[in-house]
Each structure stands twice: as C-alpha cells, then as structure tokens.
Structure 1
Amino acid sequence: MRKIRSAAVIAAGTATILGLSVMPAHAEGSRTSYIAGWRVGKTSNTWYDNNSDAVATTVTLKGCFTDSEFHSAKLTLYKSDGTSYGTKTNTCGTSSWTRPGKGTFYFKLTDFSGGSSFSAEKVEIRW
C-alpha cells in the first residue's frame, strides 16, 4: 500500500512540474465582441498593443454566417499608420499574425464568400 501511495505522489508531482513547463503564454490584452451585417471594407474598433509579450495577434470568429451561404472570410490586419500585416482566410476559426509590434491596430473585412453581408456571433481578439 505504501509503495502505491509513494508512486502516486511521485506521478502527481511529475505531472505538476511538466504541466507548469508547458503552460501557454498569456496575451497582453483581449477583447470579445461580435460582427453584425458587415459589408466588405468594414473595419473593427482599434486596440493598442505594447508588444510587451511574445504572443501573436489573433482574431477568432465563431458562429459565422452570411445572408446566403458562408464558406470563408478574409481579414487583413492593419496598423493605424496604414501598414498591412497581411490577409488571412478565416473559415470561422482563428487567424494569427506573428507579433506585429507596438502600436494601434485594427482588422478589416476584405472579402467573404456568399451573400452581401457577413456576421459572426462571437469575435475574440487577442494581442
């Protein structure tokens, strides 16, 4: 009985140490919102990234739909000075831009499939 208890304590301690070593980095900031009836060219509100961490900027879409049949949306990340950090195709999941630096950012809906308006029940932005 004592050997089993000792093995369980060692296993739990090892799992705790391993778990702590692979914890994900935490984003500097985040915001949750939604998109209702956006047309191509619409932009998000801005956020400020101090670039004080090693975490990518991500936009996660959930519950996506259009006034027709949704397949994907294209999102472009911009800095407030107009610098583009590229366009990502999002199929109602997460788009990621690797550490764009310090500054004020926003994303633009640059295209989407099906219909004339795009909506997402939940939008999570992390920076």
Structure 2
Amino acid sequence: MKHVVTLMAVAAFALVPTATSAAAAPTEGGFSSYLRGVKAGFNSRTWTDQNSDAVNTAIHLRYCVIDEDSSITPELVVRLWRERFGPDQKVGTDKLYRCAGRGERKSWGRVPSGKYHFEVRSVNGGDSLHVSTRANGVVVAF
C-alpha cells in the first residue's frame, strides 16, 4: 500500500531519460529527475527492480536548498520502501547531510526484485509541512 500525504504545495517529480555512455557499467535501470516544493511525507514515483544485475539500489540528490531560504542546505531523511500487497515493507532509512552542490548518494545495496519508491521523511529534522526543499538533480539507480 503506497503511503499518500495530501500537501498544500505542489511537489513536482518529472521523469527525464537517463543518459548512458559506452564506458558505463551495465545497469538494469535508473532515472534522472528533480524535486520542487517537496515537504515531509513526499513519495517518489514507483520503479521496478528485477534484480537482474549486480547494481546496488541508490539515490543521489544534488543541488538541494530550502525553498524558504536558499542559503540553507537541507538535511533530508529519506526512506526506501518496497511495495507489496498490504503495508509496504521498509527497506531502510538514511540521512542526507550534504546534498548541496555535488550532492550525496545513499545506497541500500542489492535489493530483492520488486517495486520500490522513496519517501522524504523529514526536512531539517522535522515533519513540518511549513518547510519545503528542492533538488535540481535526483538520480535513482537500480
């Protein structure tokens, strides 16, 4: 069951094709995107990991700022969920302290095949709907 939170602000999460090069290691999948107006409780799009390669499931956030004060680098708590019939299964939760500039990457290792999404659990230590963040670079690899 996907967790849904009604937000007063619009959170954008657009899909942009991922560029690959001949020198890159083969991966099953991934996508690049961005976040806008994201608050605690935001859920990403869902992706399917068939676990057909040796690539870890990871999220890389870059160029993050707080919408209300762009001089503040946000501290985000991100949780990876495995979707299933009934309640979704929590895979893991981690903090991203350094997502400004080149950003920060968090990996959950190899995960079983299934459908996944990530949730922004908190922004700067709180679950307040009064603070929002944006990231100009989001890369999910699986």
- Please indicate the TM-score interval, normalised by the length of the shorter structure: 0.7 to 0.9
Q: CA deviation at 1:24?
A: 7.3
Q: Does residue 95 in structure 1 map to residue 106 in structure 2? A: yes
Q: CA deviation at 1:95?
A: 0.8
Deviations 1:79-100 (CA, angstroms, capped at 9, x unpaired): 1121011111112110100111
Aligned residue number for residue 9 of structure 1: none
Aligned residue number for residue 74 of structure 1: 77
Paired letter, 2:135 = A
TM-score under structure 1 length normalisation: 0.76
Paired letter, 1:78 = W
Deviations 1:17-59 (CA, angstroms, capped at 9, x unpaired): xxxxxx8743210100000011100000000000001111010
TM-score under structure 2 length normalisation: 0.69
Ranges in structure 2 where 5+ consecutive residues have no aligned partner: 1-22
Contact 2:54–2:110 under 8 Å retained in 1: yes
Paired letter, 2:93 = T
Paired letter, 1:59 = I
Q: Does residue 117 in structure 1 map to residue 132 in structure 2? A: yes
CA RMSD in angstroms, aligned pairs only? 1.7
Paired letter, 2:45 = N
User: 3-state DSSP class of the match of 2:119?
Assistant: strand
Aligned residue number for residue 64 of structure 1: 64
Contact 2:74–2:133 under 8 Å retained in 1: no
Give the structure with the higher percent helix.
Answer: 1
Aligned residue number for residue 37 of structure 1: 37
Paired letter, 1:108 = E
Aligned residue pairs: how many? 105
Q: CA deviation at 1:72?
A: 1.6
Give the structure with the higher percent strand.
Answer: 1
User: Which one has the largest radius of gyration?
Assistant: 1
